[in-house]
Amino acid sequence: MTEQSNSQRGVRFLVIAAALVIIIGGINQAQSVLVSVLVAVFLAMLGTPPVLWLERKRIPSFVAVLLVVGGMIAILLIVGAIVGASINSFYTELPVYQTRLQEHVSAFQSFWASKGVRHMDKVLLGYVNPGAVMSLTARLLAEMGSALSNIVLILLTVTFILFEASSFPVKLRAVLGDPKQVFPQFTRFVSDIERYMVIKTVISLATGILIGIWLSILGIDFPILWGFLAFLLNYVPNVGSTIAAVPAVLLAFIQLGIGRAALATAGYMVVNFILDNVIETKLMGRRLGLSTLIVFLSLIFWGSLLGPVGMVLCIPLTMTLKFACENNKSTQWIVVFLAPETPAANISSLSNKGTDPEA
């Protein structure tokens, strides 16, 4: 009997593993479509609070949605025009910066050669290739632009999502056959996701503005572009802020020397510490319910599966997976590995959810 039970478990594990491989392969093949849908859902989450606020002001739902979507279109057009011009200028100047970089490397080599140290430039470029960093930055910006190439389809999807947002609970109650049914867990989950997206967007916007102003004061080229990059990559947990700083600091070194590069680095460190480590942590607390390791692994997984958009949305996607596992008894054990608390605390929490219908 025990052997039969073990055999069934083994077969079940193989079936689940095969299903996951098929699902991941399907997601990878449908990446372009899924990226557009995810961007639309992201924008819809940002647009839901202002729509609800306008509805509370007794503005008709149809008008509220059109006002919010119109505001999104205006912002995207303005930002796209300004940042697009900066990207084009950056592409134009990229060969000049690479030439200056080669001059700095030659001077660096001459300095160490005078001290009796040979081939120092090869050692440096063997570990960190600044030219590759600049090219990678340009490619990243181009990929993010291509992700937004279907902007008309994305905005239409956002509009329809916002139209359906207020009526979705009513439809769900109708399907379940209970007009008074409440969904406390689902409501709390949606609230947490929206709260995360709104707070992260505000913090990222403040980061981009402050970085752009600081780099402009230092006289570094394309401060708007680097501010936009800081805004965008601030969504990427753990490493996004560091990645955003590298090309701007490198450009400051190429353009103005090591002193301005040090000041640029200090500006990034101060802004990121205050906004990310102090203000954002205070506003969000521990509501994400994800361990640091899981956050980092989710960044790698969703980034490899969906590209830059997957890196930006890795936290909401992982929180959605966590919510799905919490509400299925056969997968609740996964939550223990996803959460930051001790296993005993997580097991106790899951036990309470299983016995408390209002949890």
Q: What is the pLDDT along the chain (359 residues), one digit of tens a residue?
A: 566 565 666 666 677 677 777 777 776 666 677 777 888 888 888 888 888 888 888 888 888 888 988 888 888 888 777 877 777 777 777 777 777 777 766 676 666 666 665 555 555 554 445 555 555 566 666 655 555 567 778 888 888 888 877 666 666 666 555 555 556 666 777 777 778 888 888 899 999 999 999 999 999 888 988 898 899 888 887 778 888 888 888 888 888 888 888 999 999 999 988 988 888 877 775 556 677 778 888 888 888 888 777 887 888 888 888 877 776 676 677 777 777 655 444 445 555 554 444 44
> What residue has token string 């509400």?
327
Q: How many CB atoms lie within 10 A of CB 296?
A: 14
What ranges in 278-342 are assigned the alpha helix state H? 281-284, 292-306, 308-312, 314-326, 332-338
In DSSP notation, 19-42 reads: HHHHHHHHHHHTHHHHHHHHHHHH
**Contact present, 212 and 226 (Cβ < 8 Å):** yes
